[in-house]
């Protein structure tokens, strides 16, 4: 069972400086709605922090943020921006249990191979405290595949995404939002944002 894609990790390793400089500007659309539901100073794990833009916003608001990225070269870019250590950790290396008030993943879990997605989501469920909040953004299409840059995407439909999460643990307050955005590779793509709470 694959929980990460080596070609995608290699892409971000090679593109880290350019991605950090030219990647999406401003915070993710999911971020403020997620933060508004957390208590001040809540502990947040960020999976796939990329350039560190979202982590910087969360730190400025006073949250206790643990930024992580599975690519050392990308983690170095985030460290330069944040001025603090960024943990190098792939999603399959998450072993914490009931540690975080929130776990956020902006356009990162979408690179997990479909065969390993439920396992990674189970790790997230276990790492959340009871009542903890999780938010993530995925691109969606008819089936899994690669973009023109060679990056793997799981491309779930909303129904498939809900099924993956249901198999990972018991959740409440499940919300989804669909929209359209422009990615690093250019062109527009459809996305799904999901936010849900670990059941008490």
In a domain, 183, yes or no: yes
Residue 163 lies in a domain: yes
Tens digit of each residue's pLDDT (9 = 90 or more) over 19-41: 888 765 566 778 999 999 999 99
User: How far is Cα 75 from Cα 53, in angstroms, rounded to an integer?
Assistant: 12
Report yes or no on 79 lying in a domain. Answer: yes
pLDDT tens string 146-198: 999 999 999 999 999 999 999 999 999 999 999 876 655 556 778 999 999 99
User: CA 191 to CA 21: how far, in whole Å?
Assistant: 23
What pLDDT sits at residue 147?
92
Does the residue 125 lie in any domain? yes
Q: Evaluate whether residue 1 is within a structural domain.
A: no
Q: Find the mean pLDDT for residues 97-105.
A: 98
> By C-alpha distance, which of 134, 66, 54, 140 is closest to 102?
134
Write down the pLDDT at residue 169. Answer: 97
111 domain-assigned:
yes
Contact between 133 and 102 (Cβ < 8 Å) = yes
Domain that holds residue 139: 6-198
Domain CATH number, residue 50? 3.40.50.150
Total structural domains within the chain: 1
Q: Is residue 171 part of a domain?
A: yes
**Token pair for residue 26?**
């401003």
Q: How many CB atoms lie within 10 A of CB 84?
A: 14
């Amino acid at each position: 069972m694959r929980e990460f894609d080596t070609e995608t990790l290699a892409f971000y390793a090679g593109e880290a400086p350019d991605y950090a400089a030219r990647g999406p500007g401003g915070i993710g659309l999911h971020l403020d709605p997620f933060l508004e539901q957390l208590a001040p100073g809540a502990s947040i794990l960020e999976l796939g922090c990329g350039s560190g833009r979202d982590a910087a916003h969360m730190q400025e608001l006073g949250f206790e943020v643990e930024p992580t990225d599975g690519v050392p070269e990308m983690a170095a870019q985030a460290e330069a921006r944040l001025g603090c250590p960024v943990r190098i950790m792939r999603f399959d290396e998450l072993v914490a249990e009931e540690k975080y008030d929130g776990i956020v993943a902006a356009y990162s879990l979408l690179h997990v191979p479909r065969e390993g997605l439920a396992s990674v989501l189970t790790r997230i469920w276990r790492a959340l405290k009871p009542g903890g909040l999780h938010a993530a953004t995925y691109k969606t299409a008819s089936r899994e595949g690669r973009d023109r840059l060679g990056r793997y995407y799981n491309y779930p439909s909303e129904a498939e995404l809900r099924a993956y999460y249901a198999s990972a643990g018991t959740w409440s307050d499940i919300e989804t939002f669909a929209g359209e955005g422009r990615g690093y590779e250019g062109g527009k793509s459809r996305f799904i944002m999901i936010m849900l709470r670990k059941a008490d």
